[in-house]
Amino acid sequence: MSDTSEGPSTSDGVGGLTYDKSKRQWPNELNVFAALILIIVIFELLGAIFMQQSLLFDSRDRFDSIFNEARLRIIIIQVAIIGIIAIGVTQVIITAGIDLSSGSVVGATAMIAMSFAQVAQVSGNPNPKAIFGEWALDLPVIVPVFVGLGVGLTAGAINGLLVAYSRIPPFIATLGMMLFARGVAQWWSLGNPVSFPTDAYAVIGSGMNPVFIFLGLAILFHLIMNYTVYGKHTYAIGSNEAAARMSGINVPRHLLLVYMIAGALAGLAAVILTSKNLTAQSGMGLSYELEAIAMAVIGGVSLFGGRGSIIGTGIGALIIGVITSGFTFLRLGAFYQEMVLGMIIVGAVALDQWQQKRAAARA
């Protein structure tokens, strides 16, 4: 082997044997985390100036701790359910796709799953909201949970088949599913809410359970995205689909799986949401898809594909939670909050685009 090829671009390592720490990349999640801290600091300052209170810390000695635990809990419960959807949406976006259907899939799944979760008797009388006959009442809790996952999975599979095999752009395929699933939600009980779930079903979304489920799934999918072939191929497809295909990855089959997982997670979110609210309504999940996309985008997931992480989306979810809570805390109207969120989303995408350009210019 000859060693005469000492080029300028290759002179700073020896036979690939270096792990030059100074050449290591700065993880993008740290930037997102810094943004979260910055936003908290801004709210703390505004709170100290205008409210003489702290947003996240215990400033009134009401609690026996340094944090205002009640508000922290509200922040995280508030984002947990949409956060579960965002875990799936993150994977879809990493493949350079998009899923606009998740909010409507939540609506349809809520109606259908809840119909299998109803009790037979409400305070001694037959359940006035019963959708089906007696056979569907007082079923074991596993039935509505599986129905919910199944409906979500089916919707995701249809999205996936359309995107992967008929090459309909993800935007259009999932827009179609968004309208279709909302229609299903309204048709299911002709606009009537589905109520009175069994006690076992009501446990799923009670208290802090949505948060535990969200955190459990976030950790699970963080591991999957980083340590399994599924994760690697998801990034590869979003990064360079042609390269992925040439490397022998079955791209359509993989995309189908990604959209199915996203659908199943939306279905699960619907189960938790209806359990928490003890009722299902056809309008449930409205604009959840946009909030989930916002969490991912704010968390550094690139709409061009190939970049982003579950951790980033988790931090993105917290940013949205803190902003929502912060505006309530400052007693500012929800419209300001939406304006600020809108600006942050556009800013995050602009930043991503700028980073991509810079990376391309350097290479």
Partner 1 sequence: MSDYILETKGLTKHYGGVHALVDANFTLERGEHVAIMGDNGAGKSTFVRQITGVEQRTRGDVIFDGAPVHFTGPLDAREAGIETVFQTLALADHLNVPDNLFLGREKTKFDWLGPFRILNYKAMRDDTMAGLVKTGVKIPNIKNSIAHMSGGQRQCVAIARTATFASKLTIMDEPTAALGVQETAQVENIIRTLKEQGESLILVSHNMRQVFDLVDRIIVFRRGRMVANLRKEDTNGEDVVSYITGAKTGAEFEGAA
Residue 27 C-beta: closest distance to partner 1, Å: 11
For residue 117, give Cα distances in angstroms to 59, 99, 145, 188, 331: 43, 28, 9, 15, 38
**Closer CB to partner 1, residue 49 or residue 360?**
360
Residue 1 C-beta: closest distance to partner 1, Å: 5
Q: How far apart are CA 216 and CA 214, in angstroms?
A: 5
178 burial via Cβ count (<10 Å: 0-12, 13-18, 19+) = buried
CB 29 within 8 A of CB 312: yes
Residue 160 C-beta: closest distance to partner 1, Å: 14
Residue 32 C-beta: closest distance to partner 1, Å: 17
Q: How far apart are CA 314 and CA 317, in angstroms?
A: 5
**Closer CB to partner 1, residue 10 or residue 52?**
10
**Closer CB to partner 1, residue 63 or residue 227?**
227
Residue 268 C-beta: closest distance to partner 1, Å: 18
CA 312 to chain centre: 11
**Closer CB to partner 1, residue 36 or residue 96?**
96
Residue 7 C-beta: closest distance to partner 1, Å: 3
**Closer CB to partner 1, residue 90 or residue 281?**
90
CB 121 within 8 A of CB 127: yes
Q: How far apart are CA 175 and CA 117, in angstroms?
A: 29
Contacting residues toward partner 1, per CB under 8 A: 1-20, 23-25, 224, 227-230, 232-233, 235-236, 238-240, 242-249, 254, 257, 306-307, 359-360, 362-363
**Closer CB to partner 1, residue 94 or residue 105?**
94
- The token pair at 356 is 């991509």
Pairing, β 125-126 against β 121-122 = antiparallel
E strand or H helix that includes residue 150: helix 142-165
